[in-house]
Amino acid sequence: MPYVAARDGRRQRGPQDRAPSVPERLDDLRGHSVGVLELPHHMAAGHKSRRRFDLEDPAQQRLAYQTVLCQAADCCEINDLLHPGVLRRLWRHLHIPDRVRQAWENRYPDLNAPAPPSETKIPAADLIAPRTDDGFRRAGRRPTASVPADRLTASQMIAARTASSR
Angle of CA points 111, 113, 119, to nearest 5°: 110
121 or 111, which is more confident: 111
Report whether pLDDT(11) > 70: no
Section 106-119 average pLDDT: 77
Rounded distance between C-alpha atoms, residue 134 and residue 152, angstroms = 14
What pLDDT does residue 142 have? 55
Determine the Cα–Cα distance for residues 104 and 152; give it in Å rounded to an integer: 62
What is the structure's pLDDT at 147? 53
Q: Are 34 and 55 in contact (CB under 8 A)?
A: yes
- Average pLDDT over the chain, rounded to an integer: 77
Are the CB atoms for 141 and 163 separated by under 8 Å? no
CA distances from 71 to 13, 29, 76, 87, 111 (A): 11, 16, 12, 16, 20
Average pLDDT over residues 133-148: 52
Mean pLDDT throughout 110-116? Answer: 76
Confidence class of residue 13 from pLDDT cuts 50, 70 and 90?
low
Residue 46 zone, left/alpha/beta (φ > 0; ψ -120 to 50; rest): left
Name the band, by pLDDT with cuts 50, 70 and 90, for residue 1.
very low
Task: Write the pLDDT tens digit of every residue in 48-63.
Answer: 788 899 999 999 999 9
Q: How far apart are the first and last CA of the chain?
A: 65
**Size of the chain in residues:** 166
